[in-house]
Structure 1
Amino acid sequence: MTSTNRAFVGELIAECVAVFIIIVFGDSVAAMYSLYDPSPYKLAYWGVCIVWGLGVTVAIYVTGAVSGTHANPAVTLALACFRGFSWKKVVPYWVAQVIGGFLGAVIVYTLFSPVIDHYAAVNHLDRLHDGAGAGVFFTHPGDFVTPMHAFVDEIILTAMLLLGIFAVTCEYNTQAPQANSGALIIGLLVATIGGSAGYLEAWAINPARDFGPRLFCYFAGWGQSALPSPNNYWWVPIAGPLIGGVVGAAFYQGLLKPFMPKPRTLRASAETQD
């Protein structure tokens, strides 16, 4: 194996591990929120958002030096469109990310399967027909939200995510945090999106975060309640974020980045201060 191929394999492993970490923490807190009565989070929803966000932060710290931690097909697509990421790597990254989501769901199921079974029995629900416990693993529209409205929501929310990520990681943005704290800010961005709009459709904003666990649930007894899911919802948290990610990245690249101070301007400013 050449050094280039070896590095690429490492990137794919890192992407898989990154989504795995996010799902293990995120879906576990979803289980804590939805399966217990009383729930430790019903009156402290911000805690759910923080755990999801910190899951992203931990994933970045663990894998960022290897792959840059896209951990999201929408991020990978946006980077290919605007930041020179190789198009040849896009689909392999997507596959690795979905596998990470699948494996993360396996671990969450291992942890919480007795609780899921108890929840279903107490509420007289089953997985296949009622989707008992499905909200632990994948997203669905909230109250009063139709699938098409959720599709628009996911475009908007993922656009906000990529707008923030592109700003935080822009080399010309003098207000962006340094590398060591950027991961925390991105995690807080994810938490903020969840805290402000999570009840709409559980703020997927990441196709791998939804589809990987959804695919696991299809094979773990949820069947059609996972895929294609009621009202064929399965495609919404895939297509919406992919479109929204490009929109948010384009917004930053087209409307803000052209006005960022360039290196020559920064050097001239430093020389003037000296």
Structure 2
Amino acid sequence: MEDKAHRLERHDIETGIADALQKHITRHVVPPPTISQRRLSFEHKRPRWFMEMTAEAIGVFLFVYGGIFPIAAMVLNDASPAISSIFQIGCGFGLGIAFAIITCAPTSGGHFNPAITICFAIWKGFPWKKVPQYIAAQVFGSFLGGLVVVGQYRQQLWALKAKLVAEGVTKFNFNGGPGSILCSFPNPDQTNLGYLFMTEFFIGAYVAFVIWATLDAANPFFSPASAPFIIGLAFSVLEFADITVSANMARDLGTRIVAAIFFGSDAFTYHHHSWIGILGTVPASIFATSVYELLVKDSIVHIAKGHAGHSEGQGGLMKHLSRVASSGIVEEV
């Protein structure tokens, strides 16, 4: 068989590497497979709501599992830096969110957070009737993530429980205990619920604001390809801090249910903190997205770039521009 690869000449380099390679090398690519009518019929019969809920559940599972897996390694190995660290936990959550968006967002929109789902309903026209089913799917995905980690670390977890029982400990949901692998608990000296709420609120608002800026189609600094990693990085930066936060209602509630099943119902009553981890991000996200929508977003830029239209059509846009121009002239005068 004749060799299809030839030496590149100088003028080939000047035309660009892609053109040169296409000219000198013939690539034999496997043709895409055909899709049977049977598969098309099967996919057509799938309920859309079920596909969306499945994608949301899998997405939350991916980022929860990616984050609490290194937490388990750190807690069960006495925080040994050779096994796991806060940095690894942050990377686990951040990359887990990126992978969740990449794999599941094309189907469901990639909310993966009840607070974000509620904000989509408030600001983006997401149907309110879908909000409960999205939240249920997100919590279920977190629940599955917690179950899998407990199953994989069952031997070490039960050994830790036995050790604590031998030391006279009867409750296992505390910071550093088996339950803390799954959800957040404050330290024994962190009794100021106002402080804990404000910490959760600020971090939830921080993440939501970055998410909303990333989703802004008129923002020139983001692209669809970079969005998963930017959002993941925003979340992971906060996980690098050694503070008690959940930053996601589904992530906290789903795994807290697992903690209650295996380590005691005080997972919901310890220091009266659970409501902060479960609900704290909802008002925080609403606050952050309200600030972006009302004080930062420039809708005329969206219209100019073709990402939105005036509700009254082209005529309404022309009237608005005329009023703006007139007011500008008056101000100059």
In 1, the alpha carbon distance for the partners of 2:189 and 2:105 equals: 38
In 2, the alpha carbon distance for the partners of 1:206 and 1:168 equals: 18
- Note closer, same or farther for the CA distance 1:38–1:193 as it changes in structure 2 (3 Å cut): closer
- Note closer, same or farther for the CA distance 1:216–1:127 as it changes in structure 2 (3 Å cut): farther
In the alignment, structure 1 residue 66 sits paired with structure 2 residue 107: yes
In 2, the alpha carbon distance for the partners of 1:139 and 1:240 equals: 13
In 2, the alpha carbon distance for the partners of 1:12 and 1:144 equals: 40
Judging by fraction of residues, say which structure has more helix: 1
The number of equivalent residue pairs is 261
In the alignment, structure 1 residue 217 sits paired with structure 2 residue 259: yes
Match of 2:243 among 172, 175, 200: 200
In 2, the alpha carbon distance for the partners of 1:93 and 1:63 equals: 13
8 Å contact kept, 1:106–1:216: yes
Partner of 2:155: 114
Partner of 2:270: 230
1:38 shift after superposition: 5.4
Partner of 2:312: none
Ranges in structure 1 where 5+ consecutive residues have no aligned partner: 268-274
Match of 2:283 among 243, 260, 272: 243
Match of 1:39 among 80, 92, 102: 80
Partner of 2:225: 180
1:265 shift after superposition: 6.1
1:43-81 residue CA offsets vs partner (Å, 9 max, x unmatched): 842222111111111111110110111111011011111
1:11-47 residue CA offsets vs partner (Å, 9 max, x unmatched): 0111111111112111111101211035236884222
In 1, the alpha carbon distance for the partners of 2:81 and 2:163 equals: 18
In 1, the alpha carbon distance for the partners of 2:43 and 2:151 equals: 37
1:149-180 residue CA offsets vs partner (Å, 9 max, x unmatched): 2112111111111100000111111122x112
In 2, the alpha carbon distance for the partners of 1:205 and 1:28 equals: 17
Q: How does 1:31-110 map to 2 (within 5 A)?
A: 31-37=72-78, 39-40=80-81, 44-110=85-151
* Alpha-carbon RMSD: 2.5
Higher relative contact order (CA 8 A, sep 6+): 1
One-letter amino acid matched to 2:193: P
In 2, the alpha carbon distance for the partners of 1:14 and 1:98 equals: 12
In 1, the alpha carbon distance for the partners of 2:135 and 2:201 equals: 18
8 Å contact kept, 2:51–2:108: yes
In the alignment, structure 1 residue 253 sits paired with structure 2 residue 298: no
- Note closer, same or farther for the CA distance 1:144–1:128 as it changes in structure 2 (3 Å cut): closer
8 Å contact kept, 1:143–1:200: no
Identity of aligned residues (%): 25
8 Å contact kept, 1:142–1:200: no
Partner of 1:166: 212
Q: How does 1:129-144 map to 2 (within 5 A)?
A: 129-131=171-173, 132-142=177-187, 144=189
Partner of 1:271: none
In 2, the alpha carbon distance for the partners of 1:236 and 1:98 equals: 16
One-letter amino acid matched to 1:83: K
Match of 1:12 among 42, 53, 64: 53
1:95-141 residue CA offsets vs partner (Å, 9 max, x unmatched): 11111111111100011111112223344468861323111001112
- Note closer, same or farther for the CA distance 1:109–1:169 as it changes in structure 2 (3 Å cut): same
Instruction: Tell me the TM-score normalised to structure 2 length.
Output: 0.72
In 2, the alpha carbon distance for the partners of 1:120 and 1:260 equals: 59
8 Å contact kept, 1:41–1:47: no
Partner of 1:270: none
Partner of 2:194: 148
Ranges in structure 2 where 5+ consecutive residues have no aligned partner: 1-41, 308-333
In 2, the alpha carbon distance for the partners of 1:38 and 1:249 equals: 36
